[in-house]
Structures are given as structure tokens and as C-alpha cells.
Amino acid sequence: MLCLRTEFDVVAGDARRGVRRRNGTQEVLLAVRFDESDWRIYVPNIATGLTLLLGLGAVEASRFGDVDLALRFILLAVLSDGIDGVLARRWGVASAFGGHFDALADLVAFGVAPGIVFAAQNPDAPGPIRVLVLAGIAIAGAWRLARFQSEPSGSEFVGLPITVGGPLFALAAGGVLRADIDGGLAWGLALSALMVSRVPYPRFTSGRLGRVAWSLAVVFVLALAIDGRLALITAHIALATYVVWGLGRGIGLVALGGRPATGGRGRGE
């Protein structure tokens, strides 16, 4: 049975109306039309396109053996991925198109590129291991993104966001604190499992955690300009801390009979 959930202005000011309706556990966006003369609807998509280009740049850098550059591209893609969502929500121009475009860009930058980094960093690894890692990260990331797009939005992420899992794996595979082949395989399997799991992870796109995340982003950019090695170590520690803290928090919520893990759709993780 379809029931009216909410009504919202699609574009601030001269807006036409859109309606979200919920069918079971899914939300369906109906009759959303934008004022195409409003330049603000294009800026978030440009940022999303930058995420895609950075992901492709990381793949190309890895192919030519410049893993350090590939890691920088992937981490910069995390920043551009955060910017598109913030702008879309603030300007009231979030759309189904933007959400799907964002998911495709994320899959390239955080699902495909990190696996290529592992393969480039470990050319002597057995073929089956490289294929397993490449496929595991990419498929788990695609699964995570598809679920994010199809489930109604909530106060928490369901499973580890690909914007954390992918970059952390890339850092573990080719960063300053990189693991060996066996360690890289373990990182890949563990992060893939967390991405497809239903462990509730706190959102870092808004609220107090959002402010902390943006502060860390500023620190990362400054560190990248001063010392790339320091920037990679800072990002590695910050992402690993979020993974471990979120996992412990999620297990604690389940053990204490906390709320179930539900929540997904929204532009930009």
C-alpha cells in the first residue's frame, strides 16, 4: 500500500513540487522537475564528475607504477564526494539522477581503483589472490552502494561506507603503513565483509561527527601540501579508527538490544 511520506521543495525559491512515497521499505521519487536555468543544479554534478575523474586517474597512475599518486587521487576523491552531497542538500537540488551518478563515481573511485592499487603494488602475488581481492572489493562496494540507493534514509549508515572501506584498503595495500600480500588479502576480505554487513555505522556527513570529519579533511589537505607521507599516515589512522570504533559501537548496540540497522538513500555518503 502506498502512503504519502513527505512533500518538499525541489529547488529553493521558484520550485515545483515533488513527492516521495514509500512502498514497503523503499522510497520512490515521483514527478521531480528542476528549473534548468538554475546553475546550482549543475555544480554538485560537476563535483561528482571530479570524483569519477580522480578514480580514473588513480587507475591510470597505478598502471604506470605511481601508487603514491594513485593514493592521493583516491583520498582527494573522498573530499570531492563529500562536497557534492553537501552542496546538493544545502541548495535543495538533490535528485535521483544525482544519487545514481554519485554511486557510479564512487564505484570507480572506491570500488575499482583500490583493487588496482593492490594489484600494482603486488605484481608477484598469485593470480587467484589478486582476482579475489579485486572482485571482493568491487562487488562488496557495488552491493553497498545499491543498498544505499534502494533503502529509505535513516540516521545511520547500514554497513561500512564504501567511501571509508575502499580508501582504507588502498592505504593498507600501498600506503606508508602497507601490509604484505597476506595482510592485504586479510584487509580486503575484512573490509568487504563490513561493507556488505548490516552493522550500523554513524553518519559523518552532518552533526558533531560531520564537523570533526571536515576538520580532519582540512588537516589532510594541509598535510598533503606540506608532506605527502604525513598526509597518508593521517588518513590511514583516521579511517582505521572510524572502522574499529564504529564496529565496536555497532556490536554494543546489538548486544544492548539497540535499534536495528536501517537507513540508506541520500546523495553522498
Q: Check residue 110 and report its DSSP letter.
A: I
Choose which CATH entry (1.20.120.1760, 2.40.50.100, 3.40.50.2020, 3.30.1330.200) describes domain 38-255.
1.20.120.1760
Instruction: Give me the residue spans of the domains in the chain.
Output: 38-255
Q: Phi and psi dihedrals of 261, rounded to 5? A: -80, 105
Whether 209 contacts 161, CB under 8 Å: no
Nearest by Cα to 48 from 99, 124, 12, 122:
99
- pLDDT of amino acid 36: 62
Helices 67-90 + 96-106 axis angle, to 10? 170
Q: What is the pLDDT of residue 10?
A: 35
Q: How far is CA 82 from the centre of its chain?
A: 8
Q: Write out the chain's pLDDT in tens, 269 residues.
A: 333 333 333 333 333 334 444 444 444 444 445 556 667 788 899 999 999 999 999 999 999 999 999 999 999 999 899 888 888 888 888 888 888 999 999 999 999 999 999 999 999 999 999 999 999 999 999 999 999 888 887 788 899 999 999 999 999 999 988 899 999 999 999 999 999 999 999 888 767 777 787 787 887 888 777 778 888 998 999 899 999 999 998 888 777 765 545 455 545 45
pLDDT of residue 22: 42
Compute the distance between CA of residue 185 and CA of residue 142 in angstroms, rounded to an integer: 19
* Whole-prediction pTM: 0.80
The pLDDT assigned to 69 comes to 93
Q: How many residues does the chain have?
A: 269
- Rama region for 13: left / alpha / beta (φ>0; ψ in -120 to 50; rest): left
Q: Where are the alpha helices (DSSP H) in 107-227?
A: 113-121, 127-150, 162-174, 181-196, 207-226
CA dihedral 207, 213, 214, 218 (to 10 degrees): 160
Q: How many CB atoms lie within 10 A of CB 182?
A: 10
User: Which DSSP helix (H) or strand (E) runs through 25?
Assistant: none
| pLDDT score at 58 | 97
